[in-house]
Chains A and B, each alone.
Chain A
Amino acid sequence: MMHILTLDTSTEQCSCALLCGTDIQARSEWAPRRHAELLLPMAEALLAEAGLTPRQLDAVAFGRGPGSFTGLRIACGVAQGVALAADIPALPISSLAALAQAAVQEFDGEQVLAALDARMAEVYWGRFTRNAQGIVEVQDEEHLSLPEAVDLAAFSSSQWLAVGTAWAAYPALAKRVQQASGQVPVLRYSQAEALLPLATTALQQGLGVTAAQALPVYLRNQVTHRI
């Protein structure tokens, strides 16, 4: 039986999920600045209920970003530690893909725009399409840009979903999305449970990495100015 632990602390939401064969258990809490305090106790509770120890896991997945820098490092650091201790692969999963995956499962859609508030007047965003196996795949690549630069013309049909956290911060983007898709964009935070289908697929495809290779993808890499 396959055992996969997933962790996500890329937003204010702190969440963990555990796959045991076909059974899924998950924990999630709205917890700004409390991720360090909550993440491992949540994981321990899930494993204890399943009668497992960390060494019995087959893989550990984490929301690799984009998202809150500190949050990304907490889930990534914990995943590195677990992967190293249990000698198992780590699976870095896109937070935007996790949002899109949750959306296609919740709303039964085909195409998704996932967009997160990146602060500093920018958004992280990506276009995703559901494949025949029901797993979302990124189109083109993930972006960091001004909200005006989010490219909606690339959606082939007028029927698509928009999920994420960008809408409240950028009402003009929300309005543009609603006009183009005919639907109100949905406020959603990425959840560890939504990482599971992506993590299972990634593991089957041999995309697991070593603890040392498991790193966040920040997208924003200009974080300071040279003197």
Chain B
Amino acid sequence: MRILGIETSCDETGVAVYDSQQGLLAHLLYSQVALHAEYGGVVPELASRDHLRKLTPLIQQVLTNSSSHGHIDGVAYTQGPGLIGALLVGASVGRSLAWGWGLPAVGVHHLEGHLLAPMLEENPPAFPFLALLVSGGHTQLIQVDGIGQYTLLGESVDDAAGEAFDKTAKLLGLGYPGGPALAQLAEKGEPGRFVFPRPMTQRPGLNFSFSGLKTAALNTWQKLEQQSDPQAQADIAHAFQTAVIDTLAIKCRRALQQTGLKRLVVAGGVSANQRLREALAELSEGWGAQVYYPRLEFCTDNGAMIAYAGCMRLQQGQQEPLAFRATPRWPLEELNSSQ
């Protein structure tokens, strides 16, 4: 079964072709980051307009690159969660393309795509596994027992980890999206000069809270800003990053303990963070667990994960009617009842 996958939930237009026999055949991504950077955040209307301009040329290119003209068996597109206008572009083009071809279509949950992204790699994890989903939009710990068998163990009660990175970077004057720049700056920071709290680690449970860390960074920065201390910025970045990563690692260990699982999948944009990877490697070694990541380019939004998840869904017989939808808010666990 060969599936065309379309991702337009936020500010990346992603298209890919996945074949259940031959694996991933082609994938392309157009990032709108530069478009939104000058506004300091994603402007939904501009995102929707740009998706509509870029999507069809990308589809044509991916079909050509994978020699798939006339060989597609179904179309998958991200149905949610995400920006409604952006989602509707992918859904309109994807659903009508399938109709025109006389093929089935399926609407994919964006987070299911991220959870299953490591399945595109050479040594994919077996079910069941624990998944840590860390991006600009989400911070969740999920027990995955199979396709569509998800139990949410914990999530952020306020900012997502990636969002906290970007917001803190903005407060420190590192621009937008400044998460990666903050991580880079943290490398130059002096360990231990500042220590920020590890939120919600002192009490039981697997939820996260990151908005307080952002405030801690801001307060420290404001106290030092006038003192022309060039080292302060890097030291704050270091303290912030260390606090976020420690918190993520503490909750991962707790979740592995609680579930008894021995496989940990880490996905989402923040999973590219090198210090996070080191912390989780150390943790898994001590725990006798194995950590799985998608390749770096599939840590962030992409069409490949949507093509893969869509293929799994279509093989299970799931299909979207001609009445298509975008679901901007869509708890992952709602997928379980649709089995």
Instruction: Give A residues with C-beta under 8 Å from B.
Output: 36-38, 40-41, 43-44, 53-55, 69-70, 73-74, 76-82, 84-86, 211-212, 215-216, 218, 223-224, 226-227
Contacts and interface: CB of A to CB of B under 8 A. Distances in A.
A223 B46 contact: yes
B99 A82 contact: yes
A55 B100 contact: yes
B94 interface: yes
Interface stretch (B49-57, B186-194, B289-297): B49-57
Contacts of B102: 53-55
B45 A69 contact: yes
A36 B92 contact: yes
A58 B151 CA distance: 49
B250 interface: no
Interface residues of B, number: 37
Given A70-B88, A80-B93, A85-B97, A226 B39 contact: yes
B182 interface: no
Interface in B69-106: 84-85, 88-89, 91-102
B325 interface: yes
Given A40-B324, A73-B85, A223-B43, A84 B97 contact: yes
10 contacts: A36-B91, A36-B325, A70-B48, A78-B96, A80-B92, A81-B96, A82-B97, A84-B60, A211-B60, A212-B60
Contact of B324 (A37, A44, A54, A227): A37
A40 B99 CA distance: 8
Contacts of B91: 36, 77
Given A73-B85, A215-B53, A82 B100 contact: yes
B324 A85 contact: no
B38 interface: yes
Given A84-B100, A215-B53, A40 B89 contact: no
* Shortest beta-carbon contacts, A-B, top 8: A85-B100, A77-B92, A81-B96, A81-B97, A40-B322, A78-B96, A37-B323, A54-B100
B206 interface: no
Contacts of B48: 69-70, 73
A151 B194 CA distance: 65
A111 to B, nearest CB: 33
Counting chain B CB atoms within 10 Å of each CB, the highest count among A43, A85, A218, A223 belongs to A85
A80 B39 contact: no
B92 A41 contact: no
A227 B322 contact: no
A223 B323 contact: no
B108 interface: no
A60 to B, nearest CB: 9
A69 B100 contact: no
Contacts of B93: 77-78, 80-81
Contacts of A81: 92-100
Contacts of A43: 99
Contacts of A82: 96-97, 99-100
Contacts of A78: 92-93, 95-96
B39 A73 contact: no
A63 to B, nearest CB: 14
Given A223-B46, A227-B39, A73 B88 contact: yes
A86 B100 contact: yes
Contacts of B57: 212
Contacts of A73: 48-49, 52, 85, 88-89, 92
A226 B96 contact: no
Nearest to B85: A70
B99 A224 contact: no
B115 interface: no
A85 B99 contact: yes
Nearest to B43: A224
A44 B56 CA distance: 22
A41 B96 contact: no
B326 interface: yes
Given A36-B92, A212-B60, 12 more contacts: A40-B322, A40-B324, A41-B321, A73-B89, A74-B88, A78-B93, A79-B96, A80-B92, A80-B96, A84-B60, A212-B56, A226-B39
